[in-house]
Amino acid sequence: MASTVIDGLVLPISLAGHPVLDFCNTRAAWSAPVPKEYLASHAHLTVWAGANGLLPAAEVPRLRRAGVRSAGPAADIVARAIRFRSALYTVLTGPGTPADWAAVNTEVAAAGTAVRLAAGIPAAWSLTGTGPDRPLLAIAWAAAQFLTTPAAAAVDACPSHDCGWLFTNPTGRRRWCSMALCGNRAKARRHARRTRSTG
């Protein structure tokens, strides 16, 4: 899958149409025996959240340092993020089991204790806390907001066997995560099959 380097870390490109879906796309080849994993460390989780607008960029260096100082808890946070992502993916590709919804709700509830309304009209949600779990809290709160919108019912998964990335598809006309990536590869495979069959 397509990736980019941000702050020295290899992360997937964002193309889903919403950060919550791009979070699910931090894993590729969902149906493969050995999927491609991008959340290799707490640093990857933190930098990804910053790059996708879920954390202020100025907080990312401090949170990375916090993850290094608390390596054990940081690793636990990454494990929680991966469990949450798996449940969220299943829920978004529908309909999700009670266990999936429970796993999503566990992280959403944790995030809910860390949000406050920031003063202003209209008011806005503001995430509190400075611990190494802040990236996961931000992602979970964004997921809670996304799941309560009609957009959550217009999500599709790329059918390519080595992909499975999610994307918004409100018109139902989009087939691939990206025509330039999986769409072109599928066209090339079809062309190769036709060439072999006529050869």
Pair 139, 26: CB distance under 8 Å: no
CA pseudo-torsion sign 47, 48, 50, 55: negative
Number of other residues whose CB lies within 10 A of the CB of residue 148: 9
pLDDT one-digit tens code per residue, 169-186: 999 999 999 988 797 765
| Residue-range domains of the chain with CATH | 3-198 (1.10.3300.10)
pTM, 2 dp: 0.91
Would you state the structure tokens that stand for residue 60, as one six-digit string? Answer: 């990312």
Would you state the structure tokens that stand for residue 112, as one six-digit string? Answer: 């809910």
| The predicted structure's pLDDT at residue 186 | 56
| The predicted structure's pLDDT at residue 20 | 98
| The predicted structure's pLDDT at residue 181 | 79
| The predicted structure's pLDDT at residue 191 | 41
Exposure string over 14-24, b if 16+ CB within 10 A, otherwise e: bbbbbbbbbbb
Pair 44, 52: CB distance under 8 Å: no
Pair 140, 101: CB distance under 8 Å: no
Query: Which three-class secondary structure state does DSSP give residue 4?
Result: strand
Question: Angle between the 71-93 and 60-69 helix axes, to the nearest 10 degrees?
Answer: 120
What's the gap between Cα 167 and its chain centre? 11
pLDDT one-digit tens code per residue, 70-85: 999 999 999 999 999 9
Instruction: Provide block-wise average pLDDT over 10 residues at a time, the chain (199 residues).
Output: 93 96 97 94 98 96 96 98 98 96 98 94 90 97 97 96 94 92 68 59
Dihedral pair phi/psi, residue 32, rounded to 5°: -80, 155
| The predicted structure's pLDDT at residue 1 | 66
